[in-house]
Amino acid sequence: MVKKYMIWLLALVLLVCSGCAAGNKEGAAAKEKATAGVAPRDVTIMLDWVPNTNHTGLYVALDKGWYKEEGLKARIVEPTEGGTTQLVATGKAQFGVSYQEDVTMARSSNVPVVSIAAVIQHNTSGFASKKETGITRPKDMEGKRYGGWGSPTEEAMIKAVMESDGGDFSKVKIFNIGTSDFFTAINRDVDFAWIYYGWTGIEAEQRGIDLNFLELRKLDPALDYYTPVLITSEKLATENPELVKKFMRATSRGYEYAAQHPDEAAQILLKYAPEANKNLVLASQKYLSPRYQDDAARWGEQKGEVWERYAKWLYQRKLLPDMIDTAKAYTNQFLPK
């Protein structure tokens, strides 16, 4: 009896498994049939900088054919003159990589862009300096040279964190170093600069350079904003929400896969950006993969209080002409359920 029962149970398991396999095949076939004969929709995804590990999920989705499965012919491009946010707003690119800071400033100038996903849940940027410079807290920035890219937000950021620590911002010397190499700059021209630890901080570790790193989100809760984010135009979100959902379904799969398979995801990024430093990409990916979703319920999720808190921070420092409606600056509606 036991033998017969085991044979019957095995047969049942095989039947269920074959049914699941058939169901999966039927689902895939149905999806393929639905898109058969329909020309794929061209979509351009514009980066904010050269390809790096902030963008890995996009390249994974492209490489795995997940955009194609959604009927999209995706093209990932580096930013051109005019800026990613402006070009997305005017429809020159359907999607782009931006920052909460940039989206907030854009909306205050009536530029119709909206954030549709947070790439990383918490701000990993901050002020970095060589150990010997002695900047271990914001007050230590007094008498030091800061190298930035000329944004008024930078000065406001430094002023705010210094004053909250009892420092005198007027004693900081500000230099515009543009896109100069961080390591060259701190060895020659400046004492500290604003970096993303997931890239430049990891590179410093690999070079054996000890940094003091003041993480912004630990200096002020308002500075734990989303950076980077994925954006689209209000026009596209309103007129073709199904297209945005398709893009987000594929992109979410890309970032979820990169979170779970950092080494393979890094190799995919290197396939599309062979000029990148391989060891840096691999190490950076290991650092960022667990931070994509972090403590959020799902990858890409954005919270209203994060947008509201940062916008108020900017407005209080007169960096916004008027307080924006933050509820219109972002949305979670296109994220897969």
Which tens digits make up the pLDDT trace of 286-320? 999 999 999 999 999 999 999 999 999 999 999 99
Sequence length of the chain is: 337
Among candidate residues 205, 307, 330, 250, the one with its CA nearest the CA of residue 69: 250
CA atoms within 13 A of residue 332's CA, in its CB half-sphere: 11
Rounded Cα distance between 197 and 134, Å, is 19
pLDDT at 13: 34
* C-beta separation of 138 from 214 below 8 A: yes
Q: Give CA separation, 57 vs 52, 65, 182, in Å.
A: 10, 12, 26
pLDDT at 81: 76
- Per DSSP, what are the bridge partners of residue 198? none
In this predicted structure, the answer to whether residue 328 has a pLDDT above a threshold of 70 is yes
- Residue 37: pLDDT band with limits 50, 70, 90: low
pLDDT at 163: 96
Burial class for 36, CB neighbours closer than 10 Å (0-12, 13-18, 19+): exposed
Residues 70-127 have pLDDT tens digits of: 999 999 999 987 789 999 999 999 999 999 999 999 999 999 999 999 999 999 999 9
Rounded Cα distance between 319 and 311, Å, is 9
* C-beta separation of 62 from 68 below 8 A: no
CA angle 194, 87, 292 (to 5 degrees): 50
* Residue corresponding to tokens 């210094």: 162
CA angle 96, 78, 91 (to 5 degrees): 40
H-only helix segments in 262-327: 262-272, 278-293, 304-316
Would you tell me how many other CB atoms lie within 10 Å of the CB of residue 84?
Answer: 27
pLDDT at 215: 97
Cis peptide bond prior to 112, omega within 30° of 0: no
Rounded Cα distance between 112 and 94, Å, is 13
Burial class for 131, CB neighbours closer than 10 Å (0-12, 13-18, 19+): exposed
Domains annotated on the chain, with CATH: 41-121+226-328 (3.40.190.10), 125-223 (3.40.190.10)
Average per-residue pLDDT for the chain: 90
* Residue corresponding to tokens 């901050």: 126
CA 185 remoteness from chain centre: 25
Q: Name the token pair of 40.
A: 């794929």
